[in-house]
Amino acid sequence: MELDKLGVVTSFVHNIVVYNIPLLYGTVGEIVVEKSGSLNLGVEGIMAVGAIFGYICGCYANSLGVGIAVAFLAGALCGLLFAALTVSLQANQNITGLTLTTFGLGVYFFVGNGLKAKGWPVMGDYANIKAGFSDLPIPVLSDIPLIGQGLFSHNLLVYLGIFIAFVMWWYLNRTTPGLKLRAVGENPGAADSVGINVKRMKYLHICLGCGIMGIGGYYMGLNMSGSFNSSCWINGYGWIAVALVIFANWNPAFAIIGTFVFGFFNTLRVSGSSLAAAFPGVLGWLAAVPTQLYQALPFLITAIVLVASSVRNKQGSGLPASLGLNYFREER
Amino acid sequence: MAQEYAIELKGITKTFGSVVANNNIDLNVRPGEILALLGENGSGKTTLMNMLSGIYKPDRGQIFVDGKEVTIDSPEDSKRLGIGMVHQHFKLVDVFSAADNIWMGREKSGMLLKKERYAEIEEMAKKFGFDIDPKKKVYNMAVSEKQTLEIIKVLYYGAKVIILDEPTAVLTVQEINKLFQILRRMKEEGHSIIIITHKLNEVMEISDRVAILRKGEYITTVNTSQTNEQALTEWMVGHKVDLNIQRAPMYKTRPLLEVRDVTIRSDEGAVAIDNVSFYIRGGEILGVAGIAGCGQKELCEAIAGLRPIEKGEMIHKGENIVGLPPRAILEKGISMSFIPEDRLGMGLAPSMSITDNMILKKYANSRGPFVDRKTGRKDAEQVIRDLGVVTPSTETPVRRLSGGNVQKVLLGREIKAGPNVIITAYPVRGLDINSSYAIYNILNDQKQDGVGILFVGEDLDVMIDLCDKILVLCHGKVMGVVHAHKTTKEELGLMMTGALDLTHKYEDKPAGFARDSRFCTENRKEEA
């Protein structure tokens, strides 16, 4: 029995990572977008578009790499649309983002339902995808008892997501283009006056960030084994990502922590009952907690973090000062 | 061969919609000279310079740099041509360090952000003769430090022509002198400098030549040594202007507002006003002089009830007003208009119309759930008429008005309420001569109606002419109250820096205590 209990803990930890990595992609992508001063509320839709095209193309090519690339490109294309509307045509960012959510979900169901009528690609039929999405244990680390299997034995996309988060942290804080990007997000007028091409910076990073979100969507499709039904694969994760950006204080490295904090409660909702069954003495009460409470908890934490970060002095906040404001050089 | 002109503009025209901001303007600046660009608010000075800095593109006309015709499509082009502009509203990223603000515009800066950049920037600043802390964040900097950083920035990018847009508007006398030293040194090193200003004494002091614009038209360029302030004013305004302020003599009432032993803390918790006493009589203007940030803002806010006072008393017509809510203080007839450095920050809602801004102060008087727009509009019309506000309509958002008109609306609204004490801080900040005199006249009219006015000002010449008495603050402490017609600029300057303390000038009377005080004698005994 003792081993079984350990197994429950291990799979609990494993699930925290596996089911919530898409949040990390969404959050890191949105951080990159927001650091350019653009508030993109279309994460949900962009992840959906990345998911559907990534999944279909990946299956047809029978290659995980193609899937990732297509998901990235599909997301980036959505970003291009967002950038064209808000940067070049000066459309309101909030409304454009919300529209993009509706648009993305529409594309998702249009393509998905259309293809379902003609023959849906089943993930199990594509050996390379299945193999690519299976766990790759990290030697030595994964042998650590209790948590080794939970933390250090995951599929390629989990490692990629964490890698991207660290790379983006490094890019924003330790490179010159990152400095210029932050300048654009803080004060585009100042950036413009020293010769930084504000439009190009915004376009590039909106596309980059949205591409990263697209990969996150693709992950969600794969994690659902590609079974297409009436509810979207993304299932509100895009919205949680928008909140996580604030939780992470616009820091891609903190986004990893944020993802796992949210993930913890998310996983309690799903596997709280199995924990309760394994440890009836200590955690038995978990079974009595209504699942709706777990669903609400991440948002409660966001609210607390929001209050805490508003108490913290303004300078410590990573909030880009010009977030949500369009830049027009000749505005007086 | 050296060209005669570093920059030459020919026939520059720029329109915004139907408004002609610049019409057929010719302008040139020689290498190694300081050219003052003079003109009233809205005469198109900044617009013209923004075409050199790449913010705007001219509709017509030619720009020559070192004799070669160029087109400037972006700030990047401008930078490459060796033109640098220090904007009136600094273009700095607040959360960045000094070094990063410079580094972000550096070309070929490499991929990695290295620690060495701090040393490099510091060294470069030293080479230009500046001492800066490269790691200091902009939000921790005083206004003059930010300006210095802007100047270092344009020098670092290799600017040969440096444009400064109203650089002295937010500086103290001492800081202005320092800035002028820097400008003279840059001139000696062969830089061309264009300085936008409407302070005539500064033009006379610093410039070699003066170019004058009026309502978007180019008027003339003259050698500074061959002109005088009167002539410049006439070119600038287009008609003769009397440069004297009439100090109307007035019968003075008993003290209206008495402030006694007041101590106030700033937002950061430091003592901003330290044991200050003064009083204002009806029918007099009491000036408050002091270096920027010496507690002026905190004092104004405390009187208006927006900031708690730590100790002391404030008596209005014999009644204590300490601890009263702002509205109650307002109803007693004490009104405050504070013009902050960014001019729109306090008092008016920039994107709301003049009417709405009038209503803001009176909405509590309207009955029922609906706002009384009719009265508001009538008030707006009256202010526009009485003070000569230039605006398309009463429904124009305030931010679309020029600076002088915004300030007139603010003062007009305060006066409309019929106050008996007016607290006004920097009411002419950034205004041209005509608008400034309009404001002085408004204040003088109020004074003649028996209103007591606290005038927090910057320009000592004006204060000596306008005020009856001047209270000098130095780091929150009173350095004395002097009669304006008996004092000199030098004496005030010494007091402002704390070198001269006149608080014990009269042995029988402590400074700031009125002989005919309305403090009750019982109160005094308790104090003792």
Instruction: Flag whether residue B19 sits within 8 Å of chain A, measured between CB atoms.
Output: no
Q: In what order do the strands lie in the sheet with B311-316?
A: B271-281, B255-265, B311-316, B319-320
Lowest mean pLDDT among A222-226, A303-307, A313-317: A313-317
CA-to-CA dists, residue B453 to B251, B347, B419, B512, angstroms: 14, 18, 10, 15
Domain presence at residue A327: no
The whole-number pLDDT of residue B251 equals: 73
Question: Higher pLDDT residue, B152 or B361?
Answer: B152
Which of B74, B92, B93 is best to mutate for the A interface (most A CBs within 10 A)? B93
Q: Which residues of B411-421 are buried (b: 16+ CB within 10 A; e: fewer)?
A: bbbbbbeebbb
Query: What is the distance between the alpha carbons of residues B133 and B141, in angstroms, rounded to a whole number?
Result: 10
**Are the beta carbons of A45 and A231 closer than 8 angstroms?**
no
**Are the beta carbons of A258 and A247 closer than 8 angstroms?**
yes
Contacts of B397 (CB under 8 A, 6+ apart): B350, B351, B352, B353
Tally of structural domains, chain A: 1
**Are the beta carbons of A262 and A298 closer than 8 angstroms?**
yes
Instruction: Flag whether residue B115 sits within 8 Å of chain A, measured between CB atoms.
Output: no
Banded pLDDT at B184 (limits 50, 70, 90)? very high
The whole-number pLDDT of residue B527 equals: 44
Contacts of B511 (CB under 8 A, 6+ apart): B277, B478, B480, B481, B502, B503, B504, B505
The whole-number pLDDT of residue B522 equals: 44
Residue A93 has pLDDT above 80, yes or no: yes
Residue B310 has pLDDT above 60, yes or no: yes
Average confidence (pLDDT) over A246-259: 92
Please provide the DSSP assignment of B227-277 as one string.
Answer: --HHHHHHHHHSS----PPP-------SEEEEEEEEEEE-TTSSEEEEEEE
Banded pLDDT at B185 (limits 50, 70, 90)? very high
Q: Express each pLDDT in B159-176 by its tens digit.
A: 999 999 988 877 777 788
Question: Higher pLDDT residue, A43 or B3?
Answer: A43
Which domain, by its residues, includes A199? 2-136+148-316
Lowest mean pLDDT among A57-61, B410-414, B436-440, B502-506: B502-506
Residue A163 has pLDDT above 90, yes or no: yes
Banded pLDDT at B524 (limits 50, 70, 90)? very low
**Are the beta carbons of A184 and A191 closer than 8 angstroms?**
yes
Alpha carbon dihedral A25, A26, A27, A32, in 10-degree steps, equals: 90
Domain presence at residue A180: yes
The whole-number pLDDT of residue A200 equals: 96
What are the φ and ψ backbone dihedral angles of A138, each rounded to 5 degrees? -80, 125
What domains can be seen in chain B, in order of their start residue?
A: 7-237 (3.40.50.300), 249-333+422-528 (3.40.50.300)
**Are the beta carbons of B351 and B399 closer than 8 angstroms?**
yes
Domain presence at residue A330: no
Please provide the DSSP assignment of B64-85 as one string.
Answer: EETTEEE---SHHHHHHTTEEE
Instruction: Pick A315's closest partner by Cβ from B53, B112, B139.
Output: B139
Instruction: Pick A195's closest partner by Cβ from B55, B76, B96.
Output: B76
Contacts of B201 (CB under 8 A, 6+ apart): B229, B461
Domain presence at residue A325: no
SS3 breakdown of chain B: % helix, strand, coil, rounded to 5? 35, 25, 40
Residue B514 has pLDDT above 90, yes or no: no
Q: Find the CATH number of the domain harbouring A102.
A: 1.10.3470
For β-strands B311-316 and B319-320, DSSP reports them as antiparallel
Instruction: Flag whether residue B506 sits within 8 Å of chain A, measured between CB atoms.
Output: no
Domain presence at residue A329: no
Residue B58 has pLDDT above 80, yes or no: yes
Lowest mean pLDDT among B119-128, B164-173, B417-426: B164-173
Specify the 3-state DSSP secondary structure of B25.
strand
Domain presence at residue A129: yes
Distance from CA of B350 to the nearest CA of A (A): 13
Q: Which residues of B fall within a CB distance of 8 Å from A332?
A: 16
Contact B96 A193 (CB under 8 A): no
**Are the beta carbons of A59 and A124 closer than 8 angstroms?**
no
- A222: tokens are 């794969």
The whole-number pLDDT of residue A330 equals: 78
Contact A187 B94 (CB under 8 A): yes
Query: What is the distance between the alpha carbons of residues B426 and A33, in angstroms, rounded to a whole number?
Result: 41
Q: pTM value?
A: 0.79
